[in-house]
Amino acid sequence: MDLRHTMKGRRALASVAITTGLLLSVAGCGGGGDDDKADTPKASTSTKDDGGSGDDEKPSESPSADQVLAEVKGDGLTLKITSATRDDGGFVTIEGSVTNGGSRSWVAADWRGDERELSKNGGSVAGASLVDQAGKKKYLILRDTAGRCLCTRFSTALRSGESADWYAQFPAPPDGTTKVSFQVGAMPPATVELSEGE
């Protein structure tokens, strides 16, 4: 009887610790998008596609369409990367959007990854990876102790014509690495240049 109560107490304590860790991770990653220091580096790295002139306009809620760092298409989807930031905590945060240009609804089932630990993430970006071509190293998505990825989890299917924003966090490659390839599911790899965070 005492053993059962002890195990319940340990489980409750572990749940509180995991929840606290997730909240701290989200709070640390959220950052304030309103100060000029955070916006300036991102605007100056917009060298692909529209070439954004760096007008210091990037709302924190959704990526700006004129700051597309990379765009790839496959299976009726368009994946855009609008931010690839190396953070002080030793990780890289990739942000962007996905648009369903197909005729049917899309669920991110093939984006969740093949690992057994990641199967609980449902439709998410959990199967994404970063590849450092120069360093010949592949970085898998960060996850907490319960196996939940530090990434977007899509709660509903994306209907034809709809878009959704997403993010994913990875361990940071060495400081000398400035370019990485992002890949998820059957989408082609998208090469992006890393910018420095605050």
pLDDT tens for 51-67 read 443 444 434 444 444 68
d(CA 84, CA 46): 10
In which band, very low, low, confident or very high, does the pLDDT at 96 lie, cut at 50, 70 and 90? very high
Q: What percentage of the chain exceeds 90 in pLDDT? A: 34
H/E stretch holding 42 reads helix 36-44
d(CA 34, CA 32): 5
d(CA 183, CA 128): 6
The pLDDT tens digits of the residues spanning 110-140 come to 787 667 666 666 788 888 999 998 889 999 9
Mean pLDDT confidence for 10-23? 52
Which two structure tokens, joined as six digits, stand for 55? 């007008």
Which two structure tokens, joined as six digits, stand for 63? 């990526």
d(CA 33, CA 112): 28
Look at the alpha carbons of 156, 157, 162, 168 in this order and tell me if their dihedral is positive or negative. positive
Closest CA to 143 of 155, 133, 157, 129: 129
Instruction: Please check whether residue 108 is in contact with residue 123, taking contact to mean a CB–CB distance below 8 angstroms.
Output: yes
Instruction: Please check whether residue 103 is in contact with residue 160, taking contact to mean a CB–CB distance below 8 angstroms.
Output: yes
82 vs 57 pLDDT, higher one: 82
What residue has token string 């917009």?
46
Look at the alpha carbons of 139, 140, 146, 151 in this order and tell me if their dihedral is positive or negative. positive
pLDDT at residue 9 tops 90: no
pLDDT at residue 92 tops 90: yes
| CB neighbour list of residue 49: distance below 8 Å, 6 or more residues apart | 68, 69, 71
d(CA 187, CA 115): 18
Kindly report the average pLDDT of the chain as a whole number.
Answer: 74
By 3-state DSSP, what share of the chain in percent is helix, strand and coil, each rounded to 5?
25, 30, 45
